[in-house]
Structure 1
Amino acid sequence: MKIGIIGGGAAGFFAAIQAKTNYPESTVIILEKSKKLLAKVKVSGGGRCNVTNSTPSISELSKAYPRGGKQLKKLFQEFSNEHTLEWFTSRDVALYAQDDRRVFPVSNDSQSIIDCLMAEVNQLDISIKMDTAVKKLEATVEGINVFFDDVNSVFFNKVIVASGGSPKKDGLRWLEKLGHEIVTPVPSLFTFNMPKEKIKSLMGVSVENATTKIQGEKLIGNGPLLITHWGMSGPAVLSLSSFGARLLADKNYQFNLQVNWTNEQSQEVVREGIQAIISEHGQKQLQNMRPYNLPSSLWLYLLNKVELPLVQKWDEIGKKGVHKLIEVLANDVYEVSGKTTFKEEFVTCGGVSLNSVNMKTLESKHLPGLYFAGEVLDIDAITGGYNFQAAWTTGFVAGKLK
């Protein structure tokens, strides 16, 4: 059997390894359109490679996927994050989990992951062809012809498409022509630009636990929030951009962001917290008593924003002052205008619709012998190693060629 893998990224490599492991007598060839292999693996996690996430249950793991979580829940039974940890550690790649459950190689170098995958491919005698862009696929009686231009093609009995996310629908036309439904790609996992907001002057300041909301919508993000020189980033923003990817695209990335710096569920709880400070530390100046352990520069910024004097004593702020503090702490509003890609980790929401795929085997419903793995599918996740986990899982399942 001749098996073609389109794409030399994480999902492509893993699919190739599984296919060759499952069918040792077969010929497996990876076709990569660029001059680089495993490019995203190289840059992920600031060059450390965030391999997966150590979330303890499949149920919890699947919640990290705004698109595809329900379907992945079943696929995780076959290859979960625990299987990923086992797979790499059994090949002498030591891994560790941070407090936030993101998993990295102990070397803190993505090259460890690349070397492991390359070694496996070489050991299994899997071929790699670089600079080989696929233009179209054509069904035959026994399999699929893969065309590199209008004339030149190679026959494969089975093909796994792991070509990654495409920023535009045009990049997926060749799959649409086969009858697959394509969900128009839009960016996911991006940071928020705030060109008009003065808070940018606090770049580098972070809050450990904030809650974010798009004004007028139900979506909520939470976790650490980082102020940057262009606006805001960190998990509280990135998760919101992921779950709200299509909504924010429809808004053309122009909206108001509500920030709750306290992470408290209700404003009443914030009110009680402020009253407690007034009771216990009423004689202290506002600038010297920070609620919720907020960074000093942020607290001073918020006081200036609501025009409360830094030297005023807590027991002198009155009802109006209490109200101002509740609003700025629990319902602070910033104008967002545009987005910035999160590091080099470009992720798309969209791709081949899961309706076009048998989600037990990842085989196409339109072309027998054609399978999908990785981000070419309409599957994506929040930041934290989840997108790589989807690549390992779908690569593993597609590589069964069932």
Structure 2
Amino acid sequence: MNHFDIIIIGGGAAGFFSAINIVEKNPKLRVAILERGKECLSKVKISGGGRCNVTHACFVPNDLVKFYPRGEKELKGPFHQFCSGDTIEWFEKHAVQLKIEEDGRMFPVSNSSQTIIDCFEKEVQKLGIQVITSQSVQSLFHNGEIWKIETQNNSYKAKKLVIATGSNPKIWELFHKLGHTIVSPVPSLFTFNIKDARIKDLMGVSAEVSVKVKNSKLVASGPLLITHWGMSGPAILRLSAWGARELFDTNYQFAIQINWLKDQNFDEVLAMLQELKIENAKKNCAKFSPFALPKRLWESILEAATISFETKWADLTKKQLNKLAEELTVATYQVNGKSTFKEEFVTAGGIDLKEINFKTMQSKILPNLFFAGEILNIDAITGGFNFQNAWTGGFIIAENIIK
């Protein structure tokens, strides 16, 4: 039997961050990380295309929480304790410099996730934290003051337990049996599968749009990218994150409406087109685009409005002008299924947030039990926000677990 003061289940971002901060605050504690895989930090390795999107340059807690479809209300307090600026400072103290990119995402200056992995591995070694791999947890028991953990080949005991396993159905099931409520998991952060003649040859084209799920209140805006399987980009990913449950219920069969001009409505655009018909009477529609749209997209929109490329603005009929305004502002596309976004596997669902004390990240149901990261029903859009949740949870656990 292996005895520890604290055992952390899960050798990912939240697990390592919790462990390092705990032992930095109290070096006398015996701490172990149990990881089910052969390697730790595998998600850190592939995140951000192998660069590790550590956090986001949003430094105001009340603004930062708006990037979390689930957890917005609950994370306000924690982010006031440890926010993005604290993350930057923490990594600087541990010899990792971060840089801000144009869109606010933050990466190691080295542009390599290995920098973060090396930092964590060096710290756990220096602090004497035991990292034990190939430990798949089979059962958990709480007997008065002690937690007992059975893996497939070993037994462990600890006074306190930190769960940082990410979205893990087996671990959720164990805690469900111990009395926790699990919000059933559904995918979040996915792209839309769309087969439509209007976008068939537009792979790689992007535009600033607003997009709405028809017969729903779900709306998002931002860059949209046309791919060989349909649509992706921040606007689509935001829609998928906020609509994770609603879109799951449709079995990913639904219609979206795209405004390729983002902020201008049908009536405004129709009036603008009617003026253009007079002002640019002799110009070819295909050669003169009045909107800041990629050329291939503009030509596709003209085709959808049954306007040939040789047609002059003066020759556009009332019906064609109406159809063009419609294709620009309320074009409807049918979504048939979803695809995973790059290497991001983000799940909406997990331990019910009502059962967590967010001042300490401690369970309200079971004693001496703490949760960090995506094991909880918290998820964010892409951009470093899911990692920030992991760092904040790990820091708060370290502050409170040693008391």
SS in 1 for 2:187: strand
Counterpart mapping for 1:333-372 below 5 A: 333-372=332-371
Matches within 5 A, 1:174-185: 174-185=174-185
| Distance change (3 Å), C-alpha of 1:179 and 1:84 | same
**Alignment partner, residue 6 of structure 2:** 3
1:304 maps to which residue? Answer: 303
Q: Which runs of 5+ in 1 are unaligned?
A: none
**366 and 270 in structure 1: CA distance in 2 versus 1, 3 angstrom threshold:** same
Q: Is the 8 A contact 1:197 1:334 kept in 2?
A: no
For 2:125 and 2:273, locate their aligned partners in 1 and report how far apart those are by CA, in whole Å: 63
Pairwise CA distance, 1:41? 1.0
CA-to-aligned-CA distance 1:283-309 (integer Å, 9 cap, x gap): 211111223311111111111112111
Alignment check: 8 A CA contact 1:181 1:355 kept = no
Q: Distance in 2 between matches of 1:67 and 1:314?
A: 48
TM score, norm. by length of structure 2: 0.95
Stretch moving more, 289-298 or 177-186: 289-298
Residues 140-155 of structure 1 mapped to structure 2, 5 A cutoff: 140-149=143-152, 152-155=154-157
User: 2:245 maps to what in 1?
Assistant: 246
Q: Go from structure 1 to structure 2 and tell me whether the alpha carbon gap of 1:184 and 1:232 turns closer, same or farther (over 3 Å shift).
A: same
Give 1:162-311 correspondences, 5 Å limit: 162-166=164-168, 169=169, 171-207=171-207, 209-311=208-310
* Aligned match for 1:60, one of 45, 51, 63: 63
Q: Decide whether the 8 Å contact of 2:198 with 2:300 is kept in 1.
A: no
Q: Give, in angstroms, the shift of residue 60 of structure 1.
A: 1.3
After the TM superposition, which residues 71-220 of structure 1 pair with which residues of structure 2 at under 5 Å, given as runs? 71-149=74-152, 152-166=154-168, 169=169, 171-207=171-207, 209-220=208-219
2:45–2:114 Cα contact (<8 Å) kept: yes
Give 2:245's aligned amino acid: R
**Cα deviation per residue 1:52-95 (whole Å; 9 max; x = unaligned)?**
11024211110000000111111001110111111112322221
Counterpart in the other structure of 1:51: 54
| Cα distance in 2 for residues equivalent to 1:348 and 1:341 | 11
Give deviations 1:250-298, integer Å, cap 9, x for gaps: 0000011111111115323323443453344332111112233111111
Give the match's secondary structure for 2:374. helix
1:6 and 1:162 in contact (8 A); partners too: yes
SS at match of 2:67: coil
Q: What is the letter of the counterpart of residue 334 of structure 2?
A: E
AA partner of residue 290 (structure 1)? S
Shift of 1:160: 0.3
The CA deviation at 1:391 is 0.8
Q: Once the two structures are superposed, what CA deviation does each residue of 1:321-354 show, in whole Å capped at 9, x if it has no partner?
A: 2211111111111111111111111000000111
Alpha-carbon distance between aligned partners in 1 of 2:150 and 2:220, rounded to the nearest angstrom:
44
Q: Which string of whole-angstrom CA distances, capped at 9 and with x for unpartnered residues, describes residues 219-262 of structure 1?
A: 11111111111100000100000000000100000011111111
- Distance in 2 separating the partners of 1:376 and 1:133: 16
**Residue of 13, 20, 38 corresponding to 1:35:** 38
The letter of the residue matching 2:314 is: D
Deviations 1:362-391 (A, max 9, x none): 111121101000000000001111111111
Over the residues paired in the alignment, what is the CA RMSD in angstroms? 1.6
Asked if the contact 2:361–2:396 (Cα under 8 Å) also holds between the matched residues in 1, the reply is: yes
The alpha carbon displacement at 1:155 in A equals 0.8
Separation (CA, whole Å) in 2 of partners of 1:122 and 1:278: 72
Q: How far 1:36 sits from its partner (Å)?
A: 2.0
Q: Report which stretch shifted further, 238-247 or 304-313.
A: 304-313
- The 1:313–1:198 alpha-carbon spacing in structure 2 relative to 1, beyond 3 Å, is closer
Structure 2 match to 1:379? 378
> How far apart in 2 are the matches of 1:46 and 1:84?
20
SS of residue in 2 equivalent to 1:285: coil
| Secondary structure of the corresponding residue to residue 4 of structure 1 | strand
Q: Could you tell me how far apart the structure 2 residues matched to 1:97 and 1:200 are? A: 35
Partners of 1:200 and 1:71 in 2: CA distance: 42
Give 1:115's aligned amino acid.
D
